[in-house]
Amino acid sequence: MIQVDAERLRKERAEQLEQTDFDVLVVGGGIVGAGVARDAAMRGLRTGLVEQYDLAFGTSSRSSRLLHGGLRYLAQGRIGLVYEASHEKRVLHRIASHLAEPLPFVFPTYRRSDWPLWQLRFGVKLYDLLCGGRNLGPSTWMRPSDVLRRLPEPKPAGLTGAVRYYDGLTNDARLVLDTLRSAATSGAVVCNYTRLETAVPSGSRWVCQVHDAESDRAFSVHARAVVNATGPWALSLPHSSVRLRLTKGVHLVIEHEALPVPDAVVMAQENRILFAIPWGDRVILGTTDTDYQGPLDRVPVNPDDVDYVLGVVNEAFPGAHVDRAKVVSSWAGLRPLIASGRGGPSDISRAHEIREPKPGWIDVAGGKLTTYRLIGEQVVDRLAAYLGRKTFPCPTAAAPLLEAGEVRGLSGILPPEVRPEVVEHYCRGEWAVHLDDVVIRRTSWHYYHRNSQEIARQVANWMAEIFQWDAARQAAEWARYLQATG
């Protein structure tokens, strides 16, 4: 196994951060920050990005992993949002097909429900049209007998049929990492475990004080503009003008044999919908949508959340009897929604907002994984105008996310096989510093495998060899991993 001098690599990156006179410093290594950094670097701006923890630590590794226009938003009359997201879904399928797998959804309909079949048949055709008539697959509808044949014992009483339509399945954390690798290839300097503490305007520059948690060193970074892309943390940044309402979403992962759905299934509740999403030999169930006021760094999955999701699944599939024993793993994420002051959590718009409260300071919040490329384009358009720079036209909708052939097979919808060379790749080429960086975000092994602790032990041994960890560091990494997954 090739040894990696992690300290030297990080030191070099920190020196680059400290010594470069950046056009823009992006704060936040979630999908929004990654999209802004890629766009800015590809348009020739000197770009730095700092992330306080690991890349994709926040909401961008805790989503439903869908690239979707949002059938629910269509029902809410948010046509513009659905059009935008549907268009982006197709763009992502074009530039990153390894991260945008066409996924059929079956939406069973029932008598006296809020989602009548006739309305949905019309809705899915409109949904296809909003993709420019070229959705990832054509929508159809099904008779009750077809639904009963296709799905594993759905609730039969009152069943009137179903519609079947297409969205895309992605791997959220991987989308962030591949976007950042693409940004770095274009010259962006990306540093994780580096937090922005303060930012002070000085002449035509921002002097940003950052703290590197690994070396416990604070230093200044100079940039003409700063982009606050810190998702749920956006309010805590100096100069922030973001108005947020945070809602929590919980997902459970179960074995596919516990609910052998061939397609994703929509489970309608009053005013909202949940999904059962096939993911290799597993099914992802979710999600909840409740207002949240707790800690941002550690979002709990409460027993109530688990009971709610299992209750919905067992109501939709009465023969399945999915209980807690069948749950392989779970995660909880926070939606950084733009506060509008009205309605329940599911009524709040998923649109994004870009603000410039001070010259050279840009806040960006809201939006979806699906629209991240477009958000990046709009932010960099504003940046270029502020900097008075004639940049290249935005290239991100046409350029493949990664150079052809590069580590293909390592980056995809499903976690790759557990192999030492894969770990090695994450340590050398993807900024992994800690055990949980690899087992949770680079690979999803923690979420996918029942024996994830055994796997983590093996990965810890490999990482110890690659990074030359001593016994004390290995013990600390193990404790850290247990804390992150406990």
Ligand X SMILES: Cc1cc2nc3c(=O)[nH]c(=O)nc-3n(C[C@H](O)[C@H](O)[C@H](O)COP(=O)(O)OP(=O)(O)OC[C@H]3O[C@@H](n4cnc5c(N)ncnc54)[C@H](O)[C@@H]3O)c2cc1C
Q: Which long-range contacts (CB under 8 A, 24 or more apart) does 3-10 make?
A: 3/465, 3/466, 3/467, 3/468, 4/424, 4/427, 4/428, 4/466, 4/467, 6/427, 6/433, 6/467, 7/215, 10/191, 10/212, 10/214, 10/215, 10/433
Cα(279)–Cα(302) distance, integer angstroms: 23
Cα(173)–Cα(168) distance, integer angstroms: 15
Provide the β-strand partners of residue 329.
253
CB of 344 to ligand X, least distance (A): 16
Provide the β-strand partners of residue 267.
274
CB of 445 to ligand X, least distance (A): 20
CB of 319 to ligand X, least distance (A): 27
10 Å Cβ neighbour count for 456? 24
User: Does residue 481 contact residue 436 with C-beta atoms inside 8 Å?
Assistant: yes
Output 31 or 322, the one with its CB closest to ligand X. 31
Output 56 or 117, the one with its CB closest to ligand X. 56
Output 68 or 326, the one with its CB closest to ligand X. 68
Structure tokens at 301: 């999955």
CB of 186 to ligand X, least distance (A): 19
Output 369 or 456, the one with its CB closest to ligand X. 369
CB of 119 to ligand X, least distance (A): 23
CB of 3 to ligand X, least distance (A): 29
Output 161 or 360, the one with its CB closest to ligand X. 360
Structure tokens at 281: 């030999």
Residue 408: DSSP 8-state: B
Residues that bind ligand X (CB under 6 A): 27-33, 50-53, 57-60, 62-66, 68, 195-196, 229-233, 237, 249, 287, 333-336, 367-370
Output 297 or 403, the one with its CB closest to ligand X. 297
User: Does residue 92 contact residue 99 with C-beta atoms inside 8 Å?
Assistant: yes
